[in-house]
Amino acid sequence: MTTDTASTGASVRQPRRDWVALAGQFSALIALIVIAIIFYILEPQFASQRNLFNIARQVSIYGILAIGMTFVILTGGIDLSVGSLVALTGLVAASVEKGCRGLLCVGAAGEAAGYGVPAAILAAVTVGLIAGLLQGLGVSKLKVPAFVVTLGGMSVFRGAALLWSEGQPISAFRDQYKVLGQGFVGPVPIPVIAFTIIAIVGYVVLRYTRYGRRIYAVGGNQEAARLSGLNTAWLLTSVYVISGLCAGFAGFLLSSRLNSAEQVAGIGYELTVIAGVVIGGTSLFGGEGGIFGTVVGIVLIGVLSNGLTLLNVNPYWQQIAVGLIIVLAVFFDQFIKGRRR
């Protein structure tokens, strides 16, 4: 009896590990390590502490936006308005800080009577929240495709930024305002710390909370999630609110870092952010991905841009490289799914 059992157990074949699927799961991280090693070999200055923190500071704004975008894409949606919303919220924050807007801010001193940094941050995230709420309701209640809603939002928010500022930039802020975008805690830039905190919060919410599990459920099969009793309309609306909040804070942080809020701020940001999320392994069809991959994807884009700049590569080639990586990332994602099926 024992012999029969042993022979039966021996005859049961252990499942083979799918190395391609495993590599696909960590493809962005592997690519980041390989690219970083290549840049270090070609230009040792790439690995200096100063340059690494410079990369982290450059990607921090994109990263904050990408955290919110991850929530949206996990539900199968998209948010094309984040770049325009960064411009609008940055101008609103700057206006609150200086106590003026439009032509009244031209030439105004940095010590102009304003409402302070906390009020500026609150104003920026409130505008972002309202914008995200309106877009979320358009998607969830009016049933307008997310692409159309946020494409319209991209135009509306850019126009609102022009109207709010009367076509004029707002600059020359007080030191209290600039320190959050330009300051350091030890050797670490404050924007990097802000990005790290937001990424950790996003990771915990998606991985360890009931709300996070419901987001994945909606992205995996919205109709099945609805039939199982989930409030899919509320869940869909909430992810655009999260994206709007992230855009609002990013708008404030960008104006603080640049010491200027402008109508042209954030142009093209949505493409870089979506690229980072997709490269990080979040499926454009929803239901798969996460914050860790998004962070890796955004850092990968920053490393690629920084390394090519150090090597004096034409910046036009940088855009081509990012575009090719996006296509390869989506192709690899579909290839892995095909193998699973």
Enumerate the domain spans of the chain: 48-340
Torsions phi, psi for 283 (to 5 deg): -75, 135
**What tokens does 80 get?**
């094309």
CA distance 154 to 308: 30
- pLDDT score recorded for residue 30: 86
Residue positions counted in the chain: 341
CATH class of 48-340: mainly alpha
From first to last of its 341 residues, the chain has per-residue pLDDT tens of: 455 544 444 444 545 556 655 666 677 888 899 999 999 999 999 999 999 999 999 999 999 999 999 999 999 999 999 999 999 999 999 999 988 877 667 655 545 568 899 999 999 999 999 999 999 999 999 999 999 999 999 999 999 999 998 888 998 898 999 999 999 998 999 999 999 999 999 999 999 999 999 999 999 999 999 999 999 999 999 999 999 999 999 999 999 999 999 999 999 999 999 999 998 989 888 888 999 999 999 999 999 999 989 998 888 887 787 788 777 777 776 676 666 65
Report the b/e string of 221-259 with b at 16+ CB within 10 A: ebeebeeeebebeebbbbbbbbbbbbbbbbbbbbbbbbe
CA angle (306 as vertex; 79, 84 as ends), nearest 5: 25
- pLDDT score recorded for residue 8: 47
Entry pTM: 0.90
- pLDDT score recorded for residue 341: 57
- pLDDT score recorded for residue 1: 46
